[in-house]
Amino acid sequence: MRKLALSDEILLSVEKPARYIGGEINMVKKNPSKVDIRFCMCFPDVYEIGMSHMGIQILYDMLNLREDTYCERVYSPWMDLDKIMREQNIPLFALESQEPVRDFDFLGITLQYEMCYTNILQILDLSGIPLRAKDRKEGDIFVIGGGPCAYNPEPIADFFDIFYIGEGETVYDELLDTYKEWKASGRDRVEFLKAAAGIPGMYIPQFYEVKYQEDGTLADFYPIVKEAPKKVLKQVERDMSDTFYPKKPLVPYIKITQDRVVLEIQRGCIRGCRFCQAGMLYRPIRPRSLEFLKRRAGEMLRSTGHDEISLSSLSSSDYKELSELVYWLIDEFQGKGVNISLPSLRIDAFALDVMSKVQDVRKSSLTFAPEAGSQRMRNVINKGLTEEVILKGAKDAFLGGWNRVKLYFMMGLPGETWEDIEEIAVLSDKIAREYYTIPKEERNGKVSIVTSTSIFVPKPFTPFQWSPMVSKEEAKEKRYFLLDKVKGQLNAKSIKYNCHDADVSELEGIFARGDRKLCDVILRAYESGCIYDAWSEFFHYENWVEAFQEFHVDMDFYIKRQRGEDELFPWDFIDIGVTKDFLLREYNNAKAETVTPNCRVKCAGCGAAKFACGVCKE
C-alpha cells in the first residue's frame, strides 16, 4: 500500500484532492528501488489539463515499456495546495510513488504554451531543484524540455539542462541508454551533457554562446564545446503505424478537459496556413494505417471504459481513409453507447452526414474557422477557404438541423485593414442570413452565431516570423471597432461576439520570439508572484511590466518590430526541415496575396522532403 505524500487533513482542505493521490485506472506500478532510471513526466498546468494531453500519455507508456525505467507524473499544484506546500515545506512529489521529484534522475517538462513558463519555475521551486541549470550540482536531477515551445527554447534556456527537439518516439531510448552508461562510469555531470549533445535532436543550452549587435539583435550564436552541433536537427517519427501508442491510457477519477479516448489519426498537415506554427513544425504529414487505428480504437475503449472517442489531427478531413474509419467506428461502437468526436473537420457533405449520425443535433454546435473575414485576408494567410464554401457549409448544416454555429477569426494579421475587420461582422451576418432562407416550418428555433476573435501572435518557423505584432492598444481599438460593426448587422441579436485578452496575447508574442534576455525577466516575474498566467484570475500584467523594466528589456522590441530578411533569429540553430528560404518566400507570397497549393496538389519545395516520409513519398 502506497503512503500518500499529503496527510488526510491537507487533502480534505484542498479543492479536488484526486489531483494529488494518483492510483488512476491503468496507472503503471513498479518498484522504484528495482529500476535503474526514474523519469518524472511533467505538464506545467493543473491536473485536469495535463491529464488531457495525449503526448504525455504516449511518452508515459513508451518509457514504462522499458524494464529498467519507471516513468511517473507530476502536474502543477493548484493555488490552494501551492500555498500549503510552501508554508509546511512539503516537497513536490510524483503521483505514482508519492516520492519527491528531486530524487528522480530526469524531470521531463512538456512545453505546450508560452504562458505556462512561470509554472515551470513553480515545479522546480516546490521540488527543491535549483532554478537555473548552472546552479545544479552532482547528483541533482536533469531537467529536459520538449514540445512545440521547445522550438524556440531561448526565453527559458537558463532553466533547462537539455531540450529535446522533435518527436519523443525517436531517440529517448538512446538518451536513457547513454545515461545508464554515464551513471555506471562515475564521470561528472558535464560529461553526461556532452554525451547527450552528440545524440540527434538534443540541445544543451549551456554549450552555446550568444553575441548581440548594438541594436539588440543577434550577431552570432555558436557552440563552445566540440560535442555540440552547430545545427540541431528535429527528430521525426517516420512510420506512424509502427511506433508507440498506448493501449491502456490513464483514466482519472475526476472530470478532465478531454475526458475521452484520443486517437491520433495522423501527424502534420498539408495545408500550409501561414499563421500556423504546428503546420510547419510537424511536416511532413504522416497518416497512421487504417488497421492500426481500428486496432487501437478497440483496445483503448475496452481498457478505459470511456464512452467517447475523439479523432485527433491538425486537419482530419485530409486523412484519406477518414470516411472508412468513421463509418467503421459507427458500426462497431455506436450501438454500445460510444460517441464519436471529429474536431478539425472541414464542413462538407461527408462531415455533415457523419455528424448527423454521431451527434445529437439539438445539443451540439458546429465550428467553422474562417480565420479571416475577407477573401483577401484568407488569401494572405493561405487559408484556402472561399466565402462560397463557407456559406454552403453553413446552409447544409442548417438544413441538417443545426442552428448554432461557432466562428473563429484572428485580428491583427499582417496587412490587415479596417475593411478586413468589418468583413468578420459581415460574414457572421451572411451566415445568419443563410439560416433564414429556410422555410420557417423547417427551422429548428432561432439561429445562434458565436463569433470569437483572438489576437494574432507571430510564431517562429512560420512565414510571419518576420512580421510585427499589433500592440495591445491597437488590438483593443480593433475589438471595439468590430463590436460596433457586429451591432450594426441585420441579425445583430443572433450574433454574440467574444475576444481574447490583449494583455495575455502581448506577453505570448514576446515569449514566442524572445531570446535569453527574457530568462531574468521570467524569473523575476515568478518571484513577484506570477503563476498560472494562462488563467485570467491569476494573471498580473503589472508584475510583468515591472520585471521588464527592472532588467531594461524593451517589450516593444520583441513584438512591434519588422524583422529584416537577413536577421539572425534566436531559433535559427534548429533545423525543422522546412527551410528559412521557403518561409521567406511564403512571407512574400502573403504580401502579394498569392495562394500556395497544398502538399498533395503540388510540392512547394519546403524542405521537409529530407525526412523521406509521409506525403513527401506519396
**Per DSSP, what are the bridge partners of residue 38?**
70
Distance CA 343, CA 322 (A): 12
| pLDDT for position 367 | 87
For residue 406, what are the CA distances in angstroms to 346, 356, 366, 377, 577? 13, 17, 6, 20, 35
Mean pLDDT of 587-614: 97
Distance CA 428, CA 419 (A): 14
Q: Which domain holds residue 59?
A: 8-233
Are the CB atoms for 464 and 587 separated by under 8 Å? Answer: yes
Q: How confident is the model at residue 501 (pLDDT cuts 50, 70, 90)?
A: confident
Give the CA angle between residues 317, 320, 326 to the nearest 5°.
Answer: 70
For residue 137, the Cα-to-chain-centroid distance in whole angstroms is 32
Question: What 3-state DSSP class applies to 331?
Answer: helix
Domain membership of residue 78 (yes or no) is: yes
Distance CA 314, CA 318 (A): 9
Domain membership of residue 618 (yes or no) is: no
Domains of the chain: total: 1
Domain membership of residue 348 (yes or no) is: no
Distance CA 56, CA 44 (A): 12
Q: What is the pTM of this model?
A: 0.96
Whether 420 has a pLDDT exceeding 60, the answer reads: yes
Distance CA 365, CA 370 (A): 16
Query: Torsion angle of alpha carbons 125, 127, 129, 130, nearest 10°?
Result: 10
Distance CA 430, CA 261 (A): 36
| pLDDT for position 350 | 75
Domain membership of residue 422 (yes or no) is: no
Provide the mean pLDDT of the chain.
95
331's CB contacts (< 8 A; 6+ apart) are none
On the CB side of 86, CA atoms within 13 Å amount to 12
Task: Spell out the SS3 assignment of 435-484.
Answer: HCCCCHHHCCCCCEEEEEEEECCCCCCCHHHHCCCCCHHHHHHHHHHHHH
Distance CA 411, CA 413 (A): 6
For 169-205, the pLDDT digits (tens) are 999 999 999 999 999 999 999 999 999 999 999 999 9
Q: How confident is the model at residue 597 (pLDDT cuts 50, 70, 90)?
A: very high
For 68-95, the pLDDT digits (tens) are 999 999 999 999 999 999 999 999 999 9
For 275-318, the pLDDT digits (tens) are 999 999 999 999 999 999 999 999 999 999 999 999 999 999 89
On the CB side of 367, CA atoms within 13 Å amount to 11
| pLDDT for position 390 | 92
Mean pLDDT of 223-235: 98
Distance CA 106, CA 42 (A): 10
Q: How confident is the model at residue 364 (pLDDT cuts 50, 70, 90)?
A: low
Instruction: Count other C-beta atoms under 10 Å from residue 165's C-beta.
Output: 24
Q: How confident is the model at residue 112 (pLDDT cuts 50, 70, 90)?
A: very high
Amino acid found at 479: R
For 332-343, the pLDDT digits (tens) are 987 888 888 888
Are the CB atoms for 91 and 100 separated by under 8 Å? Answer: yes
Percent of the chain, pLDDT > 70? 99
φ, ψ at 347 (rounded to 5°): -80, 95
- Report the range of poorest mean pLDDT among 358-362, 373-377, 412-416: 358-362
Q: Which of left, alpha, beta for 593 (phi over 0: left; psi -120 to 50: alpha)?
A: left
Domain membership of residue 148 (yes or no) is: yes
Nearest CA to 527 out of 503, 547, 504 is that of 547
Domain membership of residue 119 (yes or no) is: yes
Residue bearing cell 501527424: 267
Are the CB atoms for 597 and 486 separated by under 8 Å? Answer: no
Domain membership of residue 288 (yes or no) is: no
On the CB side of 260, CA atoms within 13 Å amount to 18
For 122-159, the pLDDT digits (tens) are 999 999 999 999 999 999 999 999 999 999 999 999 99
Are the CB atoms for 92 and 101 separated by under 8 Å? Answer: yes
For residue 124, the Cα-to-chain-centroid distance in whole angstroms is 21
Nearest CA to 455 out of 509, 495, 496, 534 is that of 509
- The CATH number of whichever domain residue 188 belongs to comes to 3.40.50.280
**Per DSSP, what are the bridge partners of residue 451?**
407, 497
| pLDDT for position 243 | 97
| pLDDT for position 13 | 98
Q: How confident is the model at residue 580 (pLDDT cuts 50, 70, 90)?
A: very high
Mean pLDDT of 51-64: 97
Question: What 3-state DSSP class applies to 406?
Answer: strand
Residue bearing cell 506546500: 85
| pLDDT for position 1 | 62
Whether 361 has a pLDDT exceeding 70, the answer reads: no
Task: Spell out the SS3 assignment of 111-138.
Answer: CCCHHHHHHHHHHHHHHCCCCCHHHCCC
On the CB side of 320, CA atoms within 13 Å amount to 11
Between β-strands 218-223 and 208-212, what pairing exists: parallel, antiparallel or unpaired?
antiparallel
- Report which of residues 550 and 344 the model is more confident about: 550
Whether 354 has a pLDDT exceeding 90, the answer reads: no
Domain membership of residue 116 (yes or no) is: yes
210's CB contacts (< 8 A; 6+ apart) are 218, 220, 221, 515, 516, 570
